[in-house]
Amino acid sequence: MKKVMIASKNPVKIQSVKNGFEKMFPDQEFEFTGMSTPSGVADQPFSNSETFLGAKNRANTIFTKFKDADFHVGIEGGIEHFDNEMEAFAWVFIISKDKCGKARTGTFFLPNEVVNLIKEGKELGDADDIVFNRRNSKQESGAVGILTGDVIDRTKYYTEAVILALIPFKNVDLY
Question: What is the number of other CB atoms lying within 10 angstroms of the CB of residue 43?
Answer: 9
Q: CA-CA distance, 3 to 12, in Å (whole number)?
A: 19
Sign of the CA dihedral with 171 first, then 159, 37, and 3 last: negative
Average pLDDT, the chain: 95
Q: What is the pLDDT of residue 85?
A: 95
To the question of whether residue 161 is assigned a binding role by annotation, the answer is no
Helix (H, G, I), strand (E, B) or coil at 167: helix
Residue 141 has pLDDT above 80, yes or no: yes
φ, ψ for residue 139, nearest 5 deg: -100, 15
Confidence category of residue 135, pLDDT binned at 50, 70, 90: confident
Query: Do 73 and 100 touch, CB atoms closer than 8 A?
Result: no
Question: What is the number of other CB atoms lying within 10 angstroms of the CB of residue 92?
Answer: 30
Q: What is the pTM of this model?
A: 0.93
Q: What is the pLDDT of residue 96?
A: 97
To the question of whether residue 88 is assigned a binding role by annotation, the answer is no
Domains of the chain plus CATH, in order, are 2-109+153-170 (3.90.950.10)
Q: What is the pLDDT of residue 136?
A: 80
